[in-house]
């Protein structure tokens, strides 16, 4: 217990906002991680990033008109997902136009909304909350909506898991076996939009892809099968969220004293560290594997 006293600052387990943050954070981290594994497998990290940029606009717009940001993230994310599906974001030309024009315009609008919103209200922290999130100020009335949305996204991806994997392996084989490849892709993009909106609530619209892609990319480096990759990604996501919350809570007592550091900073930093560790481990192991192969080859030649 004494050791724990040094790690956990007083009041951590008794704090209401901490309870909400831990519960919601866990559900969202698991959803993001599992959706993320499929996002990376399908090569749609770019789509995820675009959705998070557009969600920023939605969140700031919602703030301006006095609606909870989550609904803004969700509405704009889902709308953008439908639009991307229509214009075919997967094409390289489409990506260039999207990056240069559409996403720029979206963030420009977000800047306007935030400017107007903070001019007319006294909530100065709003811009920061929308862009970088804040787990300790989740409105308790949105908690059921957050959890239901997370379960819907998770359920969709679980139900589509096999067809998504077959389509990633070869869209031609999937189509030849009667999989409605396009409809499945559209359904997945919607689940992705929901997942981006959720992680925008806890770590901010700008950073939401970090929670989506980071744990998944790390898991894909270390775990082989799809089920294991999803489990490892979920574990990494949850660990980053819990540790992030703990460190952010503790940081209130760090210099400059009396001001907690943002949770998003800790979460994103932890995720990045996890990826770096997996990167170093894996490339080390690959060298060993290659040496072994060379040895085998040399032996068989001899």
Partner 1 sequence: MSGELLRLDGVGVRLGGREILRDVSLSIQPGEFTGLIGPNGAGKTTLLLIILGLQPVTRGSVLIDGAPRAPRDASIGYVPQKLGIEPDIPLRVRDVVSLGLDGHKFGIRLPSRARRERVDDMLTAVGARRYADARVGELSGGEQQRVMIAHALIGRPRLLLLDEPLANLDISSEQGIVSVLARLARAEGIAVLLSAHDMNPLMPVMDRIVYVAAGRVAVGRADEVVRPEVLSRLYGQHVDVIRVHGRVLVVAAPEGAGEAFRDEAAAEDASVAG
Q: Which residues bind partner 1 (CB under 8 A)?
A: 37, 40-41, 43, 158-163, 165-166, 168-170, 172-179, 219-221, 223-226, 228-229
* Residue 53 burial (CB count, 10 A): 25
Q: Are 197 and 73 in contact (CB under 8 A)?
A: yes
Q: How far is the CB of 53 from partner 1 (least distance, A)?
A: 24
Helix (H, G, I), strand (E, B) or coil at 8: coil
Q: How far is the CB of 121 from partner 1 (least distance, A)?
A: 45
Distance of CA 65 to the CA centre of its chain: 26
Nearer to partner 1, 31 or 134 (CB): 31
- Measured between its terminal Cα atoms, the distance across the chain in Å is 62
Burial (0-12, 13-18, 19+ Cβ within 10 Å), 99: middle
Q: How far is the CB of 250 from partner 1 (least distance, A)?
A: 35
Residue with tokens 């399908």: 42
Nearer to partner 1, 109 or 165 (CB): 165
Nearer to partner 1, 10 or 178 (CB): 178
Q: How far is the CB of 95 from partner 1 (least distance, A)?
A: 18
d(C-alpha 207, C-alpha 194), whole Å: 15
Q: How far is the CB of 218 from partner 1 (least distance, A)?
A: 12
d(C-alpha 241, C-alpha 26), whole Å: 7
Q: Are 275 and 260 in contact (CB under 8 A)?
A: no
Nearer to partner 1, 23 or 165 (CB): 165
Nearer to partner 1, 40 or 203 (CB): 40
Q: How far is the CB of 241 from partner 1 (least distance, A)?
A: 22
Q: Which residues of 177-215 are buried (b: 16+ CB within 10 A; e: fewer)?
A: eebebeebbebbbbbbbbbbbbbbbbbbbbbbbbbbbbb
Q: How far is the CB of 192 from partner 1 (least distance, A)?
A: 17
Nearer to partner 1, 131 or 223 (CB): 223
DSSP state of 137: G
Nearer to partner 1, 187 or 193 (CB): 187
């Amino acid at each position: 217990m004494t050791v724990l006293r040094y790690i956990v600052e007083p009041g951590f387990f008794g704090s209401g906002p901490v309870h909400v943050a831990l519960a919601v954070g866990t559900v969202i981290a698991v959803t993001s991680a599992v959706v993320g594994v499929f996002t990376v497998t399908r090569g749609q990290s770019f789509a995820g990033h675009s959705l998070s940029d557009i969600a920023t606009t939605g969140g700031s717009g919602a703030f301006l008109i006095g609606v909870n940001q989550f609904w803004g993230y969700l509405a704009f994310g889902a709308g953008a997902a439908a639009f991307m599906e229509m214009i075919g974001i997967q094409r390289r030309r489409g990506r260039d136009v999207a990056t240069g024009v559409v996403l720029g315009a979206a963030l420009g609008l977000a800047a306007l909304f935030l400017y107007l919103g903070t001019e007319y209200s006294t909530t100065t922290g709003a811009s920061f909350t929308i862009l970088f999130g804040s787990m300790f100020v989740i409105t308790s009335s949105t908690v059921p909506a957050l959890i239901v949305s997370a379960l819907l996204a998770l359920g969709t991806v679980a139900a589509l898991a096999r067809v998504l994997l077959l389509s990633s392996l070869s869209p031609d084989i999937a189509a030849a076996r009667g999989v409605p490849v396009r409809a499945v892709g559209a359904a997945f993009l919607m689940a992705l939009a929901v997942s981006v909106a959720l992680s925008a609530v806890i770590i901010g619209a700008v950073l939401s892809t970090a929670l989506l892609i980071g744990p998944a990319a790390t898991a894909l480096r270390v775990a082989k099968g799809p089920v294991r990759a999803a489990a490892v990604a979920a574990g990494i996501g949850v660990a980053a969220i819990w540790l992030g919350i703990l460190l952010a809570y503790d940081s209130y007592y760090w210099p400059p004293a009396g001001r907690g550091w943002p949770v998003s900073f800790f979460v994103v930093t932890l995720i990045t560290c996890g990826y770096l560790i997996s990167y170093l481990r894996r490339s080390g192991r690959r060298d060993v594997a290659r040496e072994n192969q060379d040895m085998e080859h040399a032996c068989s030649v001899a």
